[in-house]
A and B are shown apart, each in its own frame.
Chain A
């Protein structure tokens, strides 16, 4: 079974631009979560989607948004990029989500650099 895939793997943007990251979960998984990983803050939860609905959201500004499609693929968007948005963005998929005690598998991440 193919794992979680994320595209692109690397991105370089400038301040003020916007970016869209994509995640394809493991086949059959309906829950997708997004995380931001930085050296100083570790893994920070962004949001979780299940069956096209956002089920939970972390403490990030409204510039961070996401969506999930009917095939469970998910995208996250960051608008008006700031230098502090430079990070590794990780997507994780599971069958039903964290509240169900469901194993979560990660993709390789998208490394975003904001100049």
Chain B
């Protein structure tokens, strides 16, 4: 069946460093992807999205890269801050949204 997965369940980075969170998907028909951030006790918060006609999209301190050849996308967070500590999910569309299991990012001050 269709799936979206994240490569690492946990990631620790030093404050100020860049973070890279990876995600793989299986459905070639997915043409829209979203990254979400979920803080403890809260619902997932939209961070950035990308459509399949793009390879890269930039937001404020975040960049999403999409490699359709290997069905892989990544989220890059520049100058990671303590407030970035959260669980990050990728989601790909289809007849429903498919979510990865999440990467828990911890920022070390």
Interface, chain A (partner B; CB < 8 A) = 4, 6, 33, 35, 42-43, 45, 48, 56, 58, 90, 92, 98-99, 101-109
Contact = CB atoms under 8 A, between A and B. Distances in A.
B88 interface: no
A103 to B, nearest CB: 6
Nearest to A103: B49
Interface of B: 31-32, 34, 36, 42-46, 49, 51, 89, 91, 93-102
Contacts of A4: 43
Nearest to B30: A101
9 residue pairs, one from A and one from B, having the closest CB atoms:
A101-B32, A106-B43, A43-B99, A42-B101, A106-B44, A108-B43, A98-B97, A98-B93, A109-B43
6 contacts: A56-B96, A98-B93, A98-B94, A101-B51, A106-B43, A108-B43
Which of B43, B49, B91 is packed against the most chain A CB atoms within 10 Å? B43
A6 B100 CA distance: 23
A102 B31 CA distance: 10
A113 to B, nearest CB: 14
Given A108-B42, A108-B43, A103 B34 contact: yes
B99 A107 contact: no
A99 B93 contact: yes
Contacts of B91: 104
A43 B89 contact: yes
A5 to B, nearest CB: 11
Contacts of A43: 44, 89, 99
